[in-house]
A and B are shown apart, each in its own frame.
Chain A
Amino acid sequence: MLHFFDANTLSNFFIYLFTHIIFVGIGAKIISCSLLAFGFWLLVRRENFIGFLVCTFFSFLFAFFGGLLNFIV
């Protein structure tokens, strides 16, 4: 069991996590939509512009980074 947690496996796990779940497909959609919704909530309810712009920026990042990964992975 111990060999499952070696550095190489963990590294591969995180690479897989980021390239197949978080930045692409349904994972990216959920994170991007949630960030955008949170940004609008910050703007409308808390009148926090900076928070809104930051959330929108990261929403863009999660939406477009998957496409970039398609080129390099």
Chain B
Amino acid sequence: MAGSSGQGGSPTVITGVQPPQKPLNLLNAVSEIQLFSSVEKNISQPLNPNYFTTQNRIDFFTVGVKNAMTHLLFTIIFTPLSIAVFHRLIHIFGDKELSLFNEIYTIFLMFSVSIGFAIFLASLKDSYVGTVTKLMVKSLFQGLLVGEIFKIIVAFIVYQFIYIQLTPAHIASLILFLNKYAGSLLVNKLHVDYVQMFYWILDFRNVFPISIVFVIIGSLILIGFPTAAIILSIIKNKQKVDID
């Protein structure tokens, strides 16, 4: 643990504080931040900011970016599916009627990953103390922000590509291709109506431009909620100090 401060003008020697370990994932990063915040709360002299080296900043930044990438596929696949529920293209729970519960649950499901990570990251509001810990949190959040921006760009490109490719001619070609290789299964076993399928895919195409808006909203929730929690914590601490 850190050594105590010296007396008068004598230099303070901090001994025994391990430098931040390279975090492997978000959980490691949050654990390191919590560990350092508990150390910095108990020392009288603040740590030198250079204690958090450039390599450490890059490590925490990378963890933030990687975390955004882990749920990229999940977001890209499930956001259009959730929007399709509101367009009555997919029946959630098999219900043909879209009840209020189904609507609210679909929205919650769509943002569940973002909400979950936002709640977890908001726990850092109690750890935002001390010089080094603040740098750790900032590096992590910068990585998260860049990762989320990258996720939005990838989602935009994928959705726009699908939207542009799903022209009526291409849909017809797709159906002909499916009929060629799986016609007996589709027609005889599953009783698929090709005309209905054609118009369903054509309607589903309109879901993709709107989906990007909800991907952006999800990213805003993931970054905004913990940031707001940290800012509120700073304001509350300042008010406490002023009262004291």
Contact = CB atoms under 8 A, between A and B. Distances in A.
Contacts of B95: 24-25, 66
A68 B25 CA distance: 36
Given A66-B91, A66-B92, A70-B91, A57 B109 contact: no
Q: Which of B26, B81, B109 has the most CB of A within 10 A?
A: B109
Given A49-B26, A49-B27, A53-B74, A67 B94 contact: yes
Contacts, number: 81
Contacts of B108: 36
Nearest to A60: B78
Q: Is the interface of A mostly helix, strand, loop or mixed?
A: helix
B93 interface: yes
Interface string B45-69: 0000000000000000000000000
B105 A33 contact: yes
Q: Is the interface of B mostly helix, strand, loop or mixed?
A: helix
26 contacts: A24-B93, A24-B95, A25-B95, A28-B93, A29-B93, A29-B101, A36-B109, A40-B112, A47-B30, A49-B25, A49-B26, A56-B74, A56-B112, A56-B116, A57-B74, A60-B81, A63-B93, A66-B95, A67-B90, A67-B91, A67-B92, A69-B94, A70-B91, A70-B94, A71-B192, A72-B192
Interface of B: 25-27, 30, 70-71, 74, 78, 81, 85, 90-96, 101, 105-106, 108-109, 112-113, 116-117, 119-120, 190, 192
5 interchain residue pairs of minimum CB distance: A66-B94, A24-B94, A67-B91, A67-B90, A28-B93
